[in-house]
């Protein structure tokens, strides 16, 4: 062989390798594009099969072309010729192997509900709205007086199961004489699913009204936390639902409507996000199928009712570790290395698609400020010192709702104000109890409506 033949041979082989790699990349990109164009139809097979068919056809054409050119060179062995015919198919096989896992479920496709909790009975109520919700009741206990008005808890999420940490706080309230009820929103925890287009903020408000009616105890006190506080705020802007609320505690609310959601404002003191150790445990986003599905849904490239993964499968797949730094963002920076376990893997439940759907209906909604301005339901606002929420989400509620009687700025806590650390549960319960019983506030009334500009300046 000439001294120039070896480099030329290596260059040809390198060119073929690059060509094969380009074919694999092109096939994967074509697959993802078809997934988007078909909205993941047929669990992704509507994208995978055409890419496989086209790739196979091109490989056949290339194999035949090479066979014709090599038939002129009779010095090649028959074995090498047969092996060479298979070379054009290698990119097809590689691309098929890379994309096939996106089409194969790795968890059950029918909803797998968390097992019942050992310390509280799970009831299932059918509401007049058509929702089926899991209900938990903590009757009043302890040596103190019983409070006559039931207290209903709306947890955060949205469309997330009630965590064990929250259950412990509800038990604490019951131990102080409150008749506590909590229910998980449709799609969350042990509650039944809804068609994807029925997950809306307005549906959540109607469910609250229907739940109170089903309870049959007249007007109730309501404690809403995070996205649950958004539901409560929007309920206070709806006269029919507001009439069912005796007193309202709005704790760490998200944005109450579209204009509020578009505010890019200030957050509280530094949270533990980026400081706490990474969450441990399996992640669905480490599985190609769910990484692609959840990623494209968040980008808006797949519909929330995509055919790639069903709602139930997505709920089964999503884990607490998939929340990433969101959990750490609910705690102060000083708590970064002692964040409590909020939940167990068996109890954790979150519906990513339904949650995005509810958030989008809030973001796309019109202002509720005019309706909230007519509210007459006594209310209290709770704001955490290290809140990860935009401050204006809370102050917008304070400015709009004339029936907010007090604001309690909670020092030393993050977004999740009852967290089992340093007596925080007792302090939160004391603030809530004082308001519900019409007693003096344990903390200064701050910020006031007039003090909102100064409060926001202090958090720039």
pLDDT single digits (tens) 140-160? 998 889 999 999 999 999 999
Give the residue, 78 or 256, on which the prediction is more confident: 256
- Comparing 74-83, 197-206, 352-361, which segment has the lowest mean pLDDT? 74-83
Predicted local confidence at residue 17, as pLDDT: 56
Residue 452 pLDDT grade (very low, low, confident, very high; cuts 50, 70, 90): very high
Report angle CA 422, 425, 429 to the nearest 5 degrees: 140
Model confidence pTM above 0.75: yes
Residue 12 clears pLDDT 80, i.e. is over it? no
Q: How far apart are CA 364 and CA 372, in angstroms?
A: 18
Strand 245-251 relative to strand 220-225, pairing:
parallel
Predicted local confidence at residue 366, as pLDDT: 98
Predicted local confidence at residue 75, as pLDDT: 47
Predicted local confidence at residue 23, as pLDDT: 78
Main-chain dihedrals φ then ψ at residue 255, nearest 5 degrees: -70, 135
Predicted local confidence at residue 85, as pLDDT: 64
Closest listed residue to residue 219, CA positions, set 436, 429, 404: 436
- pLDDT per residue as tens digits for the range 324-343: 889 999 999 999 999 999 99
- 236 near 244, Cβ under 8 Å? no
- 374 near 400, Cβ under 8 Å? no
Mean pLDDT of 128-144: 95
Predicted local confidence at residue 88, as pLDDT: 66
What letter would DSSP give residue 276? S
Mean pLDDT of 347-371: 97
Predicted local confidence at residue 98, as pLDDT: 85
Closest listed residue to residue 230, CA positions, set 257, 198, 265, 200: 257
Residue 360 clears pLDDT 80, i.e. is over it? yes
SS3 (DSSP) at 118: coil
Mean pLDDT of 349-378: 97
Distances (CA, A) of 415 to 12, 279, 386, 405: 61, 18, 7, 21
Residue 266 clears pLDDT 70, i.e. is over it? yes
Q: Six-digit token pair at 142?
A: 């302890």
Q: How many CA atoms lie within 13 A of 211 on its CB side?
A: 33
Main-chain dihedrals φ then ψ at residue 127, nearest 5 degrees: -90, 160
Predicted local confidence at residue 182, as pLDDT: 98
User: Mean of the per-residue pLDDT values for the chain?
Assistant: 91
> How buried is 6 (Cβ within 10 angstroms: 0-12 exposed, 13-18 middle, 19+ buried)?
exposed
Residue 4 pLDDT grade (very low, low, confident, very high; cuts 50, 70, 90): very low
Q: How far apart are CA 82 and CA 196, in angstroms?
A: 53
Residue 437 clears pLDDT 70, i.e. is over it? yes
56's CB contacts (< 8 A; 6+ apart) are 89, 92
Predicted local confidence at residue 77, as pLDDT: 47
Residue 15 clears pLDDT 60, i.e. is over it? no
Mean pLDDT of 447-459: 90
Predicted local confidence at residue 63, as pLDDT: 65
Report the percent of the chain where pLDDT is more than 70. 89
Residue with token string 């409590």: 340
Q: Six-digit token pair at 310?
A: 């069903």
Give the residue, 252 or 70, on which the prediction is more confident: 252
- Comparing 138-147, 263-272, 353-362, which segment has the lowest mean pLDDT? 263-272
Mean pLDDT of 97-102: 90
């Amino acid at each position: 062989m000439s001294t120039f033949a070896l480099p030329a041979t290596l260059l040809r082989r390198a060119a073929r390798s690059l060509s094969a790699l380009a074919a694999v990349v092109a096939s994967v990109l074509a697959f993802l594009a078809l997934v988007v164009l078909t909205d993941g139809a047929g669990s992704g097979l509507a994208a995978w099969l055409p890419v496989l068919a086209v790739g196979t056809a091109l490989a056949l054409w290339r194999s035949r072309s090479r066979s014709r050119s090599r038939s002129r060179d009779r010095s090649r062995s028959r074995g090498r010729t047969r092996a060479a015919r298979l070379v054009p198919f290698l990119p097809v096989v590689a691309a098929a192997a890379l994309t096939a896992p996106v089409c194969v479920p790795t968890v059950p496709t029918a909803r797998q509900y968390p097992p019942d909790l050992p310390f509280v009975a799970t009831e299932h109520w059918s509401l007049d709205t058509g929702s089926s919700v899991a209900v938990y009741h903590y009757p009043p206990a302890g040596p103190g007086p019983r409070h006559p008005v039931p207290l209903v808890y709306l947890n955060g999420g949205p469309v997330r199961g009630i965590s064990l940490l929250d259950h412990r706080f509800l038990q604490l309230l019951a131990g102080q004489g409150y008749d506590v009820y909590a229910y998980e929103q449709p799609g969350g925890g042990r509650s039944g699913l809804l068609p994807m287009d029925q997950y809306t903020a307005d549906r959540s408000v109607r469910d609250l009204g229907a739940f109170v009616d089903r309870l049959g105890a007249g007007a109730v006190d309501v404690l809403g936390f995070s996205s649950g506080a958004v539901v409560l705020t929007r309920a206070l802007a709806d006269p029919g639902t507001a009439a069912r609320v005796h007193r309202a505690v709005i704790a760490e609310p998200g944005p109450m409507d579209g204009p509020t959601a578009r505010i890019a404002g200030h957050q509280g003191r530094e949270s533990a996000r980026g400081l706490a150790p990474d969450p441990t445990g399996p992640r669905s986003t480490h599985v190609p199928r769910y990484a692609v599905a959840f990623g494209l849904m968040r980008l808006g490239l797949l519909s929330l009712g995509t055919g790639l993964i069903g709602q139930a499968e997505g709920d089964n797949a999503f884990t607490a570790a998939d929340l990433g730094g969101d959990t750490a963002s609910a705690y102060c920076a000083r708590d970064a290395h002692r964040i409590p376990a909020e939940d167990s893997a068996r109890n954790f439940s979150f519906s990513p698609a339904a949650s995005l759907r509810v958030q989008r209906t809030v973001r796309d909604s019109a202002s509720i400020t005019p309706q909230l301005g007519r509210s007459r339901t006594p209310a209290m606002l709770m704001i955490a010192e290290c809140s990860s929420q935009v401050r204006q989400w809370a102050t917008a509620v304070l400015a709009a709702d004339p029936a907010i009687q007090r604001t309690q700025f909670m020092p030393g806590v993050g977004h999740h104000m009852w967290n089992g650390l340093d007596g925080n549960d007792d302090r939160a319960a004391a603030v809530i109890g004082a308001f519900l019983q019409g007693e003096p506030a344990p903390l200064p009334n701050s910020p006031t409506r007039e003090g909102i500009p100064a409060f926001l300046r202090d958090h720039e």
